[in-house]
A and B are shown apart, each in its own frame.
Chain A
Amino acid sequence: DAGVTQSPTHLIKTRGQQVTLRCSPKSGHDTVSWYQQALGQGPQFIFQYYEEEERQRGNFPDRFSGHQFPNYSSELNVNALLLGDSALYLCASSWGSIYSGYTFGSGTRLTVV
């Protein structure tokens, strides 16, 4: 049973470009949350998707957007990349409420140069 799968694992982009990160949730999970983890910091909540809609959003600008597909997989899009967007982007999946359990992916390391 596959856990959460994120792709790509590493990515280098140039400032001003756009990037799309992908997440496939654990089998049986229907909710996907995205987090940004800067070096030496704890993860920060970006947003959460459930039933193909953004259910909650953290304190991130509109340059960060997402999507959830009918198969529950999700994408995180970041436009007009800034150097400060360099971070590890983590995806976590759960079923409904997190109180029923959640699983993190291994993350995508984004470097903006």
Chain B
Amino acid sequence: KNEVEQSPQNLTAQEGEFITINCSYSVGISALHWLQQHPGGGIVSLFMLSSGKKKHGRLIATINIQEKHSSLHITASHPRDSAVYICAVSERGTGNQFYFGTGTSLTVIP
């Protein structure tokens, strides 16, 4: 059983396109996280959400707690956005344990 499901698994886009990555989860959460992982392996935190919407530059993250669904949007995509985007949730009541999705591999072509 996967507590976190992401779609799509792989995504190829032309530079400038609007991109959406989706995440659904099955547990009660205290927070949802969007992470970016580059080929070297290091993970960078993009957003931590517990409700509503957050924006940082060209990145927008939304969450619908009732539907247990979150989306990560990238506007005006650029080749440097190419990376793996991972959705993770921290389950309510278990403290600090993350459940991770399998990631969405994004390639933006110039």
Residues 25-42 of A contacting B (Cβ, < 8 Å): 31, 33, 35, 37, 40-42
Closest Cβ neighbor of A3 among chain B residues: B42
Which of B45, B48, B101 makes the CB contact (< 8 A) with A104? B45
- Residues of chain A contacted by B103 (CB below 8 angstroms): 41-42
- Residues of chain A contacted by B98 (CB below 8 angstroms): 33, 35, 43, 45, 98
A56 touches B97 (CB 8 A): yes
Residues 84-113 of A contacting B (Cβ, < 8 Å): 88, 90, 92, 94, 97-99, 102-107, 109
B31 touches A45 (CB 8 A): no
B57 to chain A, nearest CB (A): 19
The contact size tier of chain B is 20 to 34
B100 touches A43 (CB 8 A): yes
A97 touches B96 (CB 8 A): yes
Q: Is B74 an interface residue (CB 8 A)?
A: no
Q: A56-B94, A97-B95 are in contact. Are A90 and B100 (CB under 8 A)?
A: no
A105 touches B102 (CB 8 A): no
A44 to chain B, nearest CB (A): 7
Label chain A's interface by main secondary structure: strand
A111 to chain B, nearest CB (A): 13
A31, A43, A90, A99, most chain B CB atoms within 10 A: A43
Q: Is B72 an interface residue (CB 8 A)?
A: no
For the complex, give the distance between the alpha carbons of A88 and B96 in Å: 20
Question: B-contacting residues of A (Cβ < 8 Å)?
Answer: 31, 33, 35, 37, 40-45, 48, 55-56, 58, 88, 90, 92, 94, 97-99, 102-107, 109
- Which 9 residue pairs spanning A and B have beta carbons closest together? A42-B100, A106-B42, A104-B43, A107-B41, A98-B96, A42-B102, A43-B100, A88-B41, A45-B97
